[in-house]
Chains A and B, each alone.
Chain A
């Protein structure tokens, strides 16, 4: 069924057992994502190394399976990346979900969210964590 394309096994797995779930204490920065249509909220915490790479990333929040899984998968992908690389990945991911015929190159297991293409009303769910990430990356430390 079409629904199985949306809720792939890896999505259900990450929604039930989200990776990197929890908070990071300051001086980690945080960014918030809020979806007014359903009240879903995620908060993403980031700590950066002196070299400017993402050292640790965690998230909290209560959200639907798509949002939780997407945010969880995101945390597994951005660790070790520079700010520019992480923001580039965000753009690629959103393009992949919103435009036709965008190759999944470099997306790794984020490809599991391809089903969202057929459920455009869930796009917001799939990208909420990424917007929160961007917020955390753009918050100035200290």
Chain B
């Protein structure tokens, strides 16, 4: 089976996982917040700083041309990673959050106005919610939500057709995989419906780019964003893919060096292509590290990672659901490799602090989904999120520690 064999083969690539925390072997289950780095990524970043660093696109000298090549190679790799036709549709950002802010500002200002509707879902991360609140306020557009139903977190996507035909929806922005529910939205069908209605789409792939095969041409989305640090890459670097037809007439997001072509004291005009959106010196080492991370993930194969995720997600669901008083969010089947839950009356922060004492890293809180948590009548949940280096025995360990926590905090 694929299962566990991925951890058997690849876990040793991650030096950080081989340590004790509070006297116990580290069980790292906070991958939805940030994943860890394989040696190849760490080594390449160090090598770059030792041997090749200089600013990009500026110098004629050897180091600058090397770093420029490495930086642009990373762009080309990102295009292949996402199935984009050209590297010109790949913009480097600081991460998912900046990618969405860029679109909300640059695209939003030009295309939204009074009477227009921005449609998002009730399960969006704050990063894919607040920029639209602000864009709506600034342009006079209104923000509407596709409702999430029950703890399963299902969205009635069949309602999309009606919503798109009855409202002047200009943009549909939604997450591929929910970071708190672990459900997987049918991106392709959603984008196809939006396309029929001439609605621009943005896919938040923060939780999916490193977990599932992605091909933006097959998905037919207009924008897709993700963060390097959630797929074995460095923090501070991310990708915004933009459909060339949409990107071409978009105004810059920030202004300064790198993004201009001709500047006078009175005015300036912009470079074409992705460089127009990358003002200032970029995170060069971040892009180079991300290149190696994407290469690494392609070697493992995202279909294999996805199958592994589904398996770990379902195993976790089965084993955790036997705990007394547990309330699990998200679907039972067809789930991503993450599980959020509430355990009786015990507060998530107490659970997370308890698990940490046994070397288990969980996340506790609202997971940047405050409105969704409020809607579900929850304040905070604990979340365990997996990557291909996690094992079933780590899930067993989690269950064991949660059982002990029930006794510890129980009434």
Chain A residue numbers with a CB within 8 Å of B357 are 1-3
Does A19 sit within 8 A of B, measured CB to CB?
A: no
In-complex Cβ contact of B379 among A1, A62, A122 (8 A): A62
Chain A residue numbers with a CB within 8 Å of B346 are 65
**Cα–Cα distance between A40 and B379 once the two chains are bound (Å):** 7
Most-contacted residue by chain A among B346, B350, B408 (CB, 10 A): B350
Binary interface encoding of chain A residues 8-20 relative to chain B, with 1 for a CB under 8 A from any of its CBs, else 0: 0000100010000
CB distance from B167 to the nearest CB of A (A): 31
With contact pairs A38-B348, A38-B366, A38-B380 given, residues A3 and B354 touching in the complex (Cβ less than 8 Å): yes
Binary interface encoding of chain B residues 349-393 relative to chain A, with 1 for a CB under 8 A from any of its CBs, else 0: 110011001000000111000100100000110000000000000
CB distance from B247 to the nearest CB of A (A): 35
With contact pairs A1-B357, A12-B409, A65-B409 given, residues A38 and B22 touching in the complex (Cβ less than 8 Å): no
Most-contacted residue by chain B among A1, A2, A62, A65 (CB, 10 A): A65
Does B245 sit within 8 A of A, measured CB to CB?
A: no
CB distance from B353 to the nearest CB of A (A): 7
Chain A residue numbers with a CB within 8 Å of B380 are 38-40
CB atoms of A39 and B379 under 8 A apart: yes
Question: Whose C-beta in chain A lies nearest to the C-beta of B405?
Answer: A3
CB atoms of B347 and A65 under 8 A apart: yes
CB distance from B20 to the nearest CB of A (A): 14
Binary interface encoding of chain A residues 74-101 relative to chain B, with 1 for a CB under 8 A from any of its CBs, else 0: 0000000000000000000000000000
User: A-B pairs with CB below 8 Å: how many?
Assistant: 48
Question: Whose C-beta in chain A lies nearest to the C-beta of B22?
Answer: A2
Most-contacted residue by chain A among B349, B365, B366 (CB, 10 A): B349
Does B60 sit within 8 A of A, measured CB to CB?
A: no
Please report the total number of A residues contacting B with Cβ < 8 Å.
20
CB atoms of A119 and B366 under 8 A apart: no
Does B1 sit within 8 A of A, measured CB to CB?
A: no
**Cα–Cα distance between A125 and B354 once the two chains are bound (Å):** 15
CB atoms of B353 and A39 under 8 A apart: no
CB distance from B7 to the nearest CB of A (A): 28
CB atoms of A63 and B353 under 8 A apart: no
CB distance from A95 to the nearest CB of B (A): 23
Chain A residue numbers with a CB within 8 Å of B22 are 2
**Cα–Cα distance between A125 and B408 once the two chains are bound (Å):** 19
Chain B residue numbers with a CB within 8 Å of A6 are 353
Question: Whose C-beta in chain A lies nearest to the C-beta of B364?
Answer: A38
Given contacts A38-B349, A38-B364, A65-B347, 17 further A-B contacts (CB under 8 A): A1-B357, A2-B357, A3-B357, A7-B409, A38-B365, A38-B379, A39-B366, A39-B380, A40-B347, A40-B379, A62-B347, A62-B379, A64-B348, A66-B349, A66-B350, A122-B349, A125-B349
Residues of B within 8 A of A (CB): 22, 346-350, 353-354, 357, 364-366, 370, 373, 379-380, 408-409, 411
